[in-house]
């Protein structure tokens, strides 16, 4: 690095005023991990209460606040910012750009996030408590019947929505304008592709969410009746608007994870990704389909049968491109020369468990059967297989994969593998039995349950504590690596790794690709 | 196919039970059906068809899963660097890629056909013989029989599990949280149509064995139906988050023979006219307090506490309302308190029960007002509004 290059500023101002994509990425990652632990703590409270039948630890009213805040914090505070952080760090490195296209906006889109979540978390100390209407906040429970803190919740959602939209615009602008010469669209690493598509999903649906909460605000404070039949509105309208945002949202959460796994599996298989083109097309198809399937979350609201059939067929179709992705990953592994370092273990864990979540998703798509599954623990099991084993496993996979590049030090492999196996066992012990209780008739979001569900709930709670503990192992391993990990000398940390990020030094210098690299 | 499935599930269950019996020993009574791992076909034709559909899709998923994960496991075992393999270089194959796009598509069509026919039949609510209006309230259900035997039969159905079991003071009974004071009664072998709606927030009426789940939405009426083929008692719960006591508003449906059904209906009609008679009577303090105690347990306790100490609702012990003017007290109970969780009980309880519970609140929890409210007072209060 020459003298004319700026290093990072000193002290706190480095973090407050930085426009460096690596600094901002780091802040996003730490912030999301803190939120992950907070949302996880709420999950532990939920599982502790559900450890056995009867009310032991908390009141039903507080239980509802826990389930609501667990969902909100995990979706908006943990998973989404984590992937934005990953995008900040990796997209410029992967496409040979010196930074993000809009660095100042980048700083702002991060720094409004802590305020959004401070507002959200402060609602615990307000009269009536925190939001208690579920993370899907169906009206009129979230309007006429909501605690006063709902107004702060709405404000918080507006701010974090703003942050997401700015983050997405930045990523789309970077991918479109900042690619190194020779890096055509169809040469971009798959992680960049999945994020590029995700960015468009975000730009399309976050304003819809903003619209939904604004209509709530109007209903609560300004006398409108969007969601109240008494004034000519319709509570089901809320659900349509929410899920028009909500279904693309679940792909916003999972597509970057697909991208991560598509980077990691070829590396540790020492073989090129199978079916690159079809991976891109499959991702685009999933994104398109995500806009026309939203009402499969609402099979029991009393839609006309024609609507029900349309949403059923469209939803079933998603199995096709998703299947293509799974087949491609396995074909990549086929006749490779595999090794099983921690990132590869998490990637394989992702493929197996996410596929199982996909299977239950297909079952849920079948509208008549959904009349029995809907709002039961079967749904809870399904979406945790896709969200936790999908988003969280792929995120953990990404951290282990790129950590040596970020900090120039190698993590402890034994500890990493231990964390994987503890997570894997804990996760399955938590969520697999939830399929059973759901099918046996246990509704979701209840603080207490009938005796027939007691045994599997006990298993679930034990599993949750194990899974929770495994995250502390993760925190320890990452901190220990940054502080005192074995230094990494090589640029290409992993033997089979390909891509521009592996052509820069480890740790990656503060400024990279100030002159564009050559892409063949 | 389903018998093979049951055997498989049975043996899995035995294995799991053996594994965890140490952990879970001592939980629950004998009749509790523990370790259930699958959906029940229930007692309706639609329920069996849903169950078959569920199992068909399940087995298709199992077969695909075994194939896909099998290939992956084989690859993980054989294609590892430690075995000294050199990686292949292929990275695409149009034929294979087209095949694994088209084949799943065809499988999906095969699933969609039975799903479509079942769905269309579920939506056919024509030609019902009994019509019942189901209304969800925070946190109880109201049932109204429409056009049955002249007199309008309607009643509320509320959780009857004692608070002491929920608070772990007493041992939990077999039907813990799945029992109500007054179950819904329907005749066996008759098509029963449910008109489902809600009074406050969205609820969902779910009885797995009857294969019915429908959202109860305030201001809108949804239709669904069932035709139970076997007599028995079937239990379900509210399935849509509806606030604090969402987990405490179960549904119990008694399916009885047609003659038993008509007998029961006759009794309900008689009860209704009995209440009418009671309305014109005068009661003494003890009678009102005794009846009011029961009404309080069912309707007020969840929010106002066993000792009137308050909770979600305001305290009743020593409250200015319960110890103030009778008219003001009645106003809160009959009309509710707008902007709070306090509902209007005027149309939920009859005048006898309203009089009793008002009297009870004025004389319990150390309030000792000594005055009493008669049904006629409630009637006059309502008329005077």
DSSP sequence for A435-471 = HHHHHTTPBSS-SS--GGGHHHHHHHHHHHHHHHHHH
Give yes or no for a contact between A198 and A256, defined as CB atoms under 8 angstroms apart.
yes
CA pair distance A468, B124, nearest whole angstrom: 47
**Lowest mean pLDDT: which of A225-234, A246-255, A313-322, B374-383?**
B374-383
CB contact under 8 A, B61 and A363: yes
| Helix count and strand count (H, E) for chain A | 18, 2
The answer to whether the Cα torsion of A384, A385, A390, A393 is positive or negative is positive
Find the CB nearest B32 among A272, A324, A452: A452
pLDDT tens-place string over residues B140-156: 999 999 876 656 788 99
Confidence of residue A10 (pLDDT cuts 50, 70, 90): confident
Higher-confidence position of B235 and B322? B235
Is the pLDDT confidence value at B278 over 90?
Answer: no
Chain B residue numbers touching A333 (CB-CB < 8 A)? 72, 75-76, 79
On whether both B340 and B267 belong to a single domain, the answer is: no
Given the residues A23, A99, A308, A370, the one annotated as active site:
A99
What count of other Cβ atoms lies within 10 Å of the Cβ of residue A11? Answer: 8
Confidence of residue B341 (pLDDT cuts 50, 70, 90): confident
Nearest by Cα to B308 from B381, B247, B369, B250: B369
CA pair distance B230, B257, nearest whole angstrom: 9
On whether both B24 and B113 belong to a single domain, the answer is: no
A437 CA to centre of own chain = 26
pLDDT, average across residues A22-47? 97
Give yes or no for a contact between A9 and A18, defined as CB atoms under 8 angstroms apart.
yes
Per-residue confidence (pLDDT) for residue B346, from 0 to 100: 84
Per-residue confidence (pLDDT) for residue B25, from 0 to 100: 41
CB contact under 8 A, B220 and A133: no
Nearest by Cα to B121 from B236, B227, B240, B229: B227
**Lowest mean pLDDT: which of A1-5, A14-18, B280-284?**
A1-5
pLDDT, average across residues B228-247? 96
The answer to whether the Cα torsion of A402, A162, A512, A183 is positive or negative is positive
User: Residue A11 phi/psi, 5° resolution?
Assistant: 75, -160
On whether both B138 and B262 belong to a single domain, the answer is: yes
Chain B residue numbers touching A305 (CB-CB < 8 A)? 119-120, 123
**Lowest mean pLDDT: which of B78-82, B205-209, B254-258, B333-337?**
B333-337
Is the pLDDT confidence value at B2 over 50?
Answer: no
Per-residue confidence (pLDDT) for residue B269, from 0 to 100: 86
Per-residue confidence (pLDDT) for residue B150, from 0 to 100: 57
CB contact under 8 A, A60 and B245: yes
pLDDT tens-place string over residues A466-479: 999 999 999 999 99
Query: Number of A:B CB contacts under 8 A?
Result: 301
Per-residue confidence (pLDDT) for residue A335, from 0 to 100: 95
CA pair distance A39, A144, nearest whole angstrom: 27
For B94, nearest residue in chain A (alpha carbons): A275
Q: Which helix (H) or strand (E) holds B311?
A: none
Nearest by Cα to B216 from B152, B115, B110, B143: B143
Q: Which two tokens stand for residue B90?
A: 């292929």
Per-residue confidence (pLDDT) for residue A155, from 0 to 100: 97
For B76, nearest residue in chain A (alpha carbons): A338
CB contact under 8 A, A320 and B27: no
Give yes or no for a contact between A314 and A293, defined as CB atoms under 8 angstroms apart.
yes
DSSP SS3 for A409: strand
**The sheet that has B192-198: what strands, in order across it?**
B153-157, B140-146, B130-137, B192-198, B222-226
B102, B115, B336, best to mutate vs chain A, most A CBs in 10 Å = B115
On whether both B291 and B337 belong to a single domain, the answer is: yes
Is the pLDDT confidence value at A2 over 60?
Answer: no
Residue given tokens 């999972």 in the structure block: A254
Residue given tokens 């939904």 in the structure block: A212
CB contact under 8 A, A456 and B202: no
Classify domain A21-503 by CATH number. 1.20.210.10
On whether both B359 and B249 belong to a single domain, the answer is: no
CA pair distance A326, A262, nearest whole angstrom: 10
Q: Which helix (H) or strand (E) holds B352?
A: helix B351-363
Which are the contacts of A18, defined by CB distance < 8 A and separation ≥ 6? A8, A9, A24, A27, A107
pLDDT, average across residues B273-289? 84
CA pair distance A457, A50, nearest whole angstrom: 7
Chain B residue numbers touching A336 (CB-CB < 8 A)? 75, 79, 87-88
Going from the C-alpha of B320 to that of each of A379, B60, B313, B332, B360, the distances in angstroms are: 47, 65, 14, 12, 15
Residue A21 annotated to the active site: no
Per-residue confidence (pLDDT) for residue A374, from 0 to 100: 97
Chain A residue numbers touching B177 (CB-CB < 8 A)? 53, 448-450
pLDDT, average across residues B273-283? 82
Shortest Cα distance from A334 to chain B (angstroms)? 6
CA pair distance B150, A439, nearest whole angstrom: 40
On whether both B252 and B285 belong to a single domain, the answer is: no
For B70, nearest residue in chain A (alpha carbons): A330
Going from the C-alpha of A166 to that of each of A25, A84, A106, B180, the distances in angstroms are: 14, 11, 7, 52
CA pair distance A11, A95, nearest whole angstrom: 30
CB contact under 8 A, B202 and A138: yes
B58, B167, B239, B312, best to mutate vs chain A, most A CBs in 10 Å = B239
B342 CA to centre of own chain = 22
CB contact under 8 A, A64 and B246: yes
pLDDT, average across residues A453-465? 97
B203 CA to centre of own chain = 9
CA pair distance A91, A100, nearest whole angstrom: 8
Which are the contacts of A517, defined by CB distance < 8 A and separation ≥ 6? A96, A180, A500, A503
Is the pLDDT confidence value at B27 over 80?
Answer: no
Residue A234 annotated to the active site: no
Q: Which two tokens stand for residue B218?
A: 């305030």
pLDDT tens-place string over residues A177-234: 999 999 999 999 999 999 999 999 999 999 999 999 999 999 999 999 999 999 999 9
Nearest by Cα to A84 from A109, A66, A104: A109
Higher-confidence position of B214 and B7? B214
CB contact under 8 A, B57 and A362: yes
Candidate ranges B98-112, B287-301, B323-337; pick with highest mean pLDDT:
B98-112
Q: Strands B250-256 and B184-187, how do they pair? A: parallel
pLDDT tens-place string over residues A426-439: 999 999 999 999 99
For chain A, give the percent of residues with pLDDT over 70: 99
Find the CB nearest B100 among A141, A309, A327: A327
Find the CB nearest A55 among B104, B166, B200: B166
Helix axes A413-439, A454-484, angle to 10 degrees: 160
Going from the C-alpha of A299 to that of each of A308, A407, B123, B199, B247, the distances in angstroms are: 7, 48, 12, 21, 21
ipTM: 0.93
CA pair distance A346, A426, nearest whole angstrom: 14
* Helices assigned H by DSSP within B138-202: 163-166
Q: Which two tokens stand for residue B316?
A: 């009743």
**Lowest mean pLDDT: which of A137-146, B57-66, B283-292?**
B283-292
Find the CB nearest B166 among A54, A278, A458: A54
The answer to whether the Cα torsion of A369, A373, A378, A379 is positive or negative is positive
> What is the distance in angstroms between the CA of the first residue and the CA of the last residue of chain B?
65
Domains contained in chain B, number: 4
Q: Which helix (H) or strand (E) holds B382?
A: helix B375-384
Confidence of residue B193 (pLDDT cuts 50, 70, 90): very high
Confidence of residue B3 (pLDDT cuts 50, 70, 90): very low
Find the CB nearest A337 among B86, B96, B167: B86
Is the pLDDT confidence value at B22 over 50?
Answer: no
Confidence of residue B18 (pLDDT cuts 50, 70, 90): very low
Which are the contacts of B170, defined by CB distance < 8 A and separation ≥ 6? B162, B164
- pLDDT, chain A, mean: 96
Beta strands in B319-366 (DSSP E): none
pLDDT tens-place string over residues A303-342: 999 999 999 999 999 999 999 999 999 999 999 999 999 9
Per-residue confidence (pLDDT) for residue A478, from 0 to 100: 97
Burial class (CB in 10 A: 0-12, 13-18, 19+), B24: middle
Chain A residue numbers touching B112 (CB-CB < 8 A)? 312-313, 316
Q: Is B21 left (phi over 0), alpha (psi -120 to 50) or beta?
A: alpha
Chain B residue numbers touching A341 (CB-CB < 8 A)? none
Per-residue confidence (pLDDT) for residue B17, from 0 to 100: 46
pLDDT, average across residues B4-22? 47
CA pair distance A78, A486, nearest whole angstrom: 29
Residue A249 annotated to the active site: yes
CA pair distance A33, A392, nearest whole angstrom: 11
Output b/e per residue, B287-301; b: 16+ Cβ within 10 A. ebbebbeebbbbbbe
CB contact under 8 A, A454 and B34: yes
Burial class (CB in 10 A: 0-12, 13-18, 19+), B339: exposed
CA pair distance B300, B313, nearest whole angstrom: 9
Domain boundary residue, one of B99, B122, B145: B122
Nearest by Cα to A271 from A193, A337, A349, A189: A337
Given the residues A262, A342, A394, A396, the one annotated as active site:
A262
For B74, nearest residue in chain A (alpha carbons): A334
CA pair distance A189, B385, nearest whole angstrom: 73
Domain boundary residue, one of B249, B272, B295: B272
Residues in chain A: 520
Max intra-chain CA distance, chain A: 71
pLDDT tens-place string over residues A345-366: 999 999 999 999 999 999 999 9
Q: Where are the domains of chain A?
A: 21-503
On whether both B156 and B110 belong to a single domain, the answer is: no
pLDDT tens-place string over residues A483-520: 999 999 899 999 999 999 999 999 999 999 999 998 87
Given the residues A179, A247, A405, A435, the one annotated as active site:
A247
Q: Which domain holds residue B305?
A: 280-384
On whether both B138 and B260 belong to a single domain, the answer is: yes
CA pair distance A441, A452, nearest whole angstrom: 10
DSSP SS3 for A226: coil
Give yes or no for a contact between A329 and A351, defined as CB atoms under 8 angstroms apart.
yes
Higher-confidence position of A274 and B4? A274
CA pair distance B317, B309, nearest whole angstrom: 6
What is the CATH classification number for the domain harbouring B179? 2.60.40.420
Which are the contacts of B126, defined by CB distance < 8 A and separation ≥ 6? none
pLDDT tens-place string over residues B73-109: 999 999 999 999 999 999 989 999 999 999 999 999 9
């Amino acid at each position: 690095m020459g003298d004319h290059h700026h290093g990072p500023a000193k002290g706190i101002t480095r973090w407050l005023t930085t426009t460096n994509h690596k600094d901002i990425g780091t802040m996003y990652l730490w912030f999301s991990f803190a939120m992950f632990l907070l949302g996880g703590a709420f999950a532990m409270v939920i599982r502790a209460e559900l450890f056995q039948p009867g009310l032991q630890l908390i009141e039903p009213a507080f239980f509802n606040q826990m389930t609501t805040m667990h969902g909100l914090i995990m979706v908006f505070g943990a998973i989404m910012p984590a992937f934005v952080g990953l995008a900040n760090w990796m997209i410029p490195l992967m496409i040979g750009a010196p930074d993000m296209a809009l660095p100042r906006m980048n700083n702002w889109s991060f720094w409004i996030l802590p305020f959004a979540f401070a507002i959200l978390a402060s609602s615990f100390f307000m009269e009536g408590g925190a939001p208690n209407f579920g993370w899907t906040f169906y009206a009129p429970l979230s309007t006429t019947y909501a605690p006063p803190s709902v107004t702060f919740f709405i404000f918080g959602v507006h701010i974090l929505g703003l942050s997401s939209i700015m983050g997405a615009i930045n990523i789309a602008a970077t991918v479109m304008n900042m690619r190194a010469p020779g890096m055509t669209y169809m040469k971009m690493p798959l992680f960049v592709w999945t994020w590029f598509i995700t960015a468009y999903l975000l730009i399309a649906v976050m304003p819809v969410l903003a619209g939904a909460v604004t209509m709530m605000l109007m209903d609560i404070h300004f006398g409108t009746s969007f969601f109240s039949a008494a004034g000519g509105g319709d509570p089901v309208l809320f659900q349509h608007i929410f899920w028009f945002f909500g279904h693309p949202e679940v792909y916003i959460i999972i597509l970057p994870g697909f991208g991560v796994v598509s980077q990691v599996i070829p590396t540790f298989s020492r073989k090129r990704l199978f079916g690159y083109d079809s991976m891109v097309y499959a991702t685009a198809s999933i994104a398109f389909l995500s806009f026309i399937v939203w009402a499969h979350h609402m099979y029991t609201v009393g839609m006309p049968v024609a609507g029900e059939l349309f949403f059923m067929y469209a939803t079933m179709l998603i199995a096709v491109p998703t299947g293509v992705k799974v087949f491609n990953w396995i074909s990549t592994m086929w006749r490779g020369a595999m090794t099983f370092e921690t990132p590869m273990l998490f990637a394989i864990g992702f493929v197996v468990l996410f596929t199982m979540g996909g299977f239950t998703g297909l079952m849920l798509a079948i509208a008549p059967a959904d009349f029995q599954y809907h709002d039961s623990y079967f749904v809870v099991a399904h979406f945790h297989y896709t969200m936790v084993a999908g988003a969280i496993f792929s995120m953990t996979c990404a951290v282990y994969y790129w950590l040596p590049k970020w900090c120039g030090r190698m993590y402890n492999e034994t500890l990493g593998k231990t964390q994987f196996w503890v997570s894997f066992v804990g996760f399955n012990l938590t969520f697999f039995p939830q399929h059973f209780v759901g099918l046996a008739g246990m509704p979701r979001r209840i603080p207490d349950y009938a005796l027939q569900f007691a045994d599997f709930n006990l298993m679930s709670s034990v599993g949750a504590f194990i899974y929770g503990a495994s995250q502390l192992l993760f925190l320890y391993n990452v901190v220990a690596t940054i502080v005192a990990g074995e230094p990494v000398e090589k640029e290409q940390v992993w033997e089979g790794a390909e891509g521009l990020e592996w052509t820069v030094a480890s740790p990656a210098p503060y400024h990279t690709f100030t002159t564009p690299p050559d892409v063949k | 196919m389903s018998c093979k499935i049951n055997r498989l599930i049975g043996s899995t269950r035995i294995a799991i039970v053996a594994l965890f019996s140490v952990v879970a020993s001592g939980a629950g009574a004998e009749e509790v059906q523990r370790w259930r791992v699958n959906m029940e076909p229930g007692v309706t034709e639609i329920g069996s068809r849903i169950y078959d559909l569920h199992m068909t899709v399940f087995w298709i998923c199992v077969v695909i899963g075994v194939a896909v994960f099998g290939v992956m496991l084989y690859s993980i075992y054989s294609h590892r660097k430690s075995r000294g393999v050199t990686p292949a270089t292929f990275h695409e194959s149009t034929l294979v890629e087209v095949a694994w796009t088209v084949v799943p598509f065809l499988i999906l069509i095969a699933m969609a056909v039975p799903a479509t026919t079942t769905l269309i039949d579920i939506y056919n609510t024509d030609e019902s013989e009994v019509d019942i209006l189901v209304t969800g309230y925070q946190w109880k259900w109201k049932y109204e029989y429409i056009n049955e035997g002249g007199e309008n039969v309607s009643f509320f159905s509320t959780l009857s599990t004692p608070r002491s079991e929920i608070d772990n003071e007493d041992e939990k009974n077999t039907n813990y949280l799945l029992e109500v004071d007054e179950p819904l009664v329907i005749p066996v072998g008759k098509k029963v149509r449910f008109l489902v709606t809600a009074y406050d927030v969205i609820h969902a009426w779910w009885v797995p064995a009857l294969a019915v789940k429908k959202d109860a939405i305030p201001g809108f009426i949804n239709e669904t139906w069932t035709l139970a083929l076997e007599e028995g008692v079937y239990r379900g719960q509210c399935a849509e988050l509806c606030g604090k006591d969402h987990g405490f508003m179960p549904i119990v449906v008694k399916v009885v023979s047609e003659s038993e059904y008509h007998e029961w209906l006759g009794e309900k009609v008689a009860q209704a006219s009995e209440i009418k008679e009671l309305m014109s009577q005068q009661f003494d303090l003890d009678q009102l307090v005794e009846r009011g105690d029961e009404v309080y347990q069912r309707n007020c306790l969840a929010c106002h506490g066993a000792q009137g100490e308050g909770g979600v609702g305001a305290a009743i012990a020593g409250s200015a309302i319960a110890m103030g003017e009778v008219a003001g007290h009645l106003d809160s109970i009959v009309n509710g308190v707008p902007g709070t969780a306090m509902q209007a009980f005027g149309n939920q309880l009859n005048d006898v029960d309203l009089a009793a519970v008002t009297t009870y609140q004025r004389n319990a929890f150390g309030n000792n007002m000594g005055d009493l409210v008669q049904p006629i007072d409630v009637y006059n209060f309502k008329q005077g509004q």
